[in-house]
Amino acid sequence: MIIDCHSHLTGAAYSAVARKLNKTPFTAASLLRRMDIDGIDRSVLLPIGNPENHEVLGIATNLECLQAYRKHPDRLIPFCNIDPRMMYNTPEADLSELMNIYRDMGCRGIGEACAGLSIVDPRYRNLFHHAGQCGMPVLFHLTGKRRGTYGMIDRLHLPGLETVLGEFPDTVFIGHAMAFWGEIDGDLRLADREDYPEALIRKEGRLWTLLKQYPNLYGDLSAGSGYNAISRDPETGYRFLQTFNRKLFYGTDRFLSPKDPPPAILTFLKDARRTGRITRRAYENIMFRNVSRVVLKGE
User: What is the set of domains in the chain, with CATH numbers?
Assistant: 3-294 (3.20.20.140)
Report pLDDT for 52: 85
* Confidence grade of residue 257 (pLDDT, cut at 50, 70, 90): confident
Report pLDDT for 6: 98
* Confidence grade of residue 54 (pLDDT, cut at 50, 70, 90): low
pLDDT in tens, 120-135: 999 999 999 999 999 9
Report pLDDT for 258: 82
pLDDT in tens, 215-231: 999 999 999 999 999 99
pTM of the model: 0.96
* Confidence grade of residue 189 (pLDDT, cut at 50, 70, 90): very high
Report pLDDT for 55: 59
259 vs 160, more confident? 160
Report pLDDT for 190: 93
pLDDT in tens, 56-114: 567 899 999 999 999 999 999 999 999 999 999 999 999 999 999 999 999 999 999 99
* For residue 53, pLDDT beyond 80: no
Q: If we measure between CA atoms, which residue out of 299, 295, 298 comes closest to residue 131?
A: 295
